[in-house]
A and B are shown apart, each in its own frame.
Chain A
């Protein structure tokens, strides 16, 4: 059974390489995108931390800024 799945009647190399290429592309794109997102989030947190009290209060008044700060550890 396992041999049949691996060999695929002699087409195993083609089938598995096509599926592997697809899955590797998915993983690569996912991690590159995730890296870019966390980079921007870190930048945002650092900039927010450097604001003085007054400016931080203004920035915090926007919902979207609060949302970014609230999920910095997530995707």
Chain B
């Protein structure tokens, strides 16, 4: 099955897709920003400060999703011995890291007007910081190690160890007394967020996901061309 997704076969698609994704991203982001900054209502308690949610929450979701994908692909590269999995993971990580940083910074900015502090060693914030450290280690490992097999092993280990932190982040608001409120959005039960706030949140999440795909494709193409450059040296 993986033969159909070999880099040589899919490069024609991955090299052309970014310009379409970029266009789609700009359209969705424009709609999302209009909804988030102008059309959506203010919160009865937090007033307009609630609008920070429209960048903070999608960024946190995408960074968690990306790290979970890294771990899954790492397990896959161990089980199926597929080098393309490592290449996909490597290309996914930069966007995930940036979204993690965005979640931390915008969370800090949101914390000041709502909690009266820029930073607290609250369970969720601390576990998100730990996730950023895992992302940092993962990206650094790709730069430090030159041996291909060794770097795949090390980065996979980092991703698999780091993914233990993902459920901790998710359930930290239930397990500990934190400044963060319990989740307002759930797939299994009723949402406590009003639809007028849910719509911009969904649109912004879609925009962020598109940006993440865009960066992934550009990075993936860069990595493939790097490999081909080495191939030309060997000719």
CB distance from B41 to the nearest CB of A (A): 12
Give the chain B neighbours of A17 by CB distance below 8 A.
109
Q: How far is the CA of A8 from the CA of B8 in the complex (A)?
A: 51
Q: Which residue of A lies closest to B222 (CB)?
A: A37
B106 touches A44 (CB 8 A): no
A29 touches B215 (CB 8 A): yes
Neighbour of B235 across the interface among A5, A12, A59, A75, CB < 8 A: A59
CB neighbors of B among A13-59 (8 A): 14-15, 17-19, 21-22, 25-26, 29-30, 33-34, 36-37, 40-41, 43-44, 47-48, 51, 55, 58-59
B95 contacts chain A at the CB level, 8 A cutoff: yes
CB distance from B18 to the nearest CB of A (A): 4
Knowing A18-B52, A21-B105, say if A43 contacts B113 (CB, 8 Å). Answer: no
B106 touches A18 (CB 8 A): yes
CB neighbors of A among B87-112 (8 A): 94-95, 98, 101-102, 105-106, 109-110, 112
B141 contacts chain A at the CB level, 8 A cutoff: no
Q: Which residue of A lies closest to B91 (CB)?
A: A33
Q: How far is the CA of A39 from the CA of B112 in the complex (A)?
A: 41
Neighbour of B95 across the interface among A29, A47, A51, CB < 8 A: A29
CB distance from A36 to the nearest CB of B (A): 5
B61 contacts chain A at the CB level, 8 A cutoff: no
Contact with A along B21-55 (1 / 0, CB 8 A): 01000000000010011100010000111011001
Task: Given contact pairs A9-B47, A33-B218, enumerate 16 new A-B contacts (beta carbons under 8 Å).
Answer: A10-B48, A14-B110, A15-B48, A15-B49, A15-B52, A18-B52, A18-B55, A18-B106, A21-B106, A25-B101, A40-B226, A41-B225, A43-B225, A44-B228, A68-B11, A74-B15
